């Protein structure tokens, strides 16, 4: 992984074998970024996609693998009251299975790069968005009443 800042935006190149979410969080830690949004594209080999099941308060997870075109990566990074970083990421992939073109998309747990991924990370300017835990749903939401 390598990254560079231009003006207020960071550009991240994840390389073969890198896990994309880990790369994004590492840049945030290195650069003291407490909240940001990001987007990206790339060529990947494995992804763990999740769907939240409200009735159980848990995620159903499936793994896809092979030559995965990462056609859309969107997400955010926020910080909880203890300073821990959290990501909320969604992605869509296209791939060929049995000679047919298919797509899979959802909430992302992890993505492993096959040859490269290009990510634009835009930190929140003049403020911080934190994470507020919601006990009713068992998930966290943006909190604008923060530092």
For residues 55 and 119, the model is more confident at 119
Average pLDDT over residues 76-82: 89
Pick among 3.20.20.70, 3.40.50.720, 3.30.1330.80, 3.40.50.300: CATH of 2-143:
3.30.1330.80
Closest CA to 49 of 112, 7, 3: 112
In the chain, where are the structural domains located? 2-143
Element spanning 30, H or E: helix 20-30
Q: How much is the pTM?
A: 0.93
**Number of neighbours of residue 92 by Cβ within 10 angstroms:** 15
Average pLDDT over residues 79-99: 92
Q: Are 114 and 67 in contact (CB under 8 A)?
A: yes
Q: List, as one string, the DSSP characters of 116-132.
A: EEEEEEEE-SSS--EEE
- What pLDDT is attached to residue 147? 52
Structure tokens given for 24: 């994004």
């Amino acid at each position: 992984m390598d990254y560079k800042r231009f003006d207020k935006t960071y550009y991240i190149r994840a390389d073969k074998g890198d896990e994309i979410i880990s790369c994004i969080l590492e840049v945030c830690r290195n650069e003291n970024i407490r909240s940001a949004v990001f987007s990206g594209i790339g060529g990947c080999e494995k992804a763990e996609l999740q769907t939240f099941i409200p009735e159980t308060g848990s995620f159903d997870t499936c793994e896809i693998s092979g030559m995965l075109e990462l056609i859309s990566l969107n997400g955010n990074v926020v910080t909880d009251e203890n300073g821990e970083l959290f990501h909320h990421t969604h992605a869509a992939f296209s791939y060929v299975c049995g000679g047919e073109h298919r797509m899979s998309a959802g909430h992302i747990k992890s993505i492993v790069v096959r040859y490269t991924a290009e990510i634009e990370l835009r930190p929140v300017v003049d403020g911080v968005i934190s994470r507020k835990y919601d006990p009713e749903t068992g998930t966290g939401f943006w909190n604008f009443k923060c530092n």
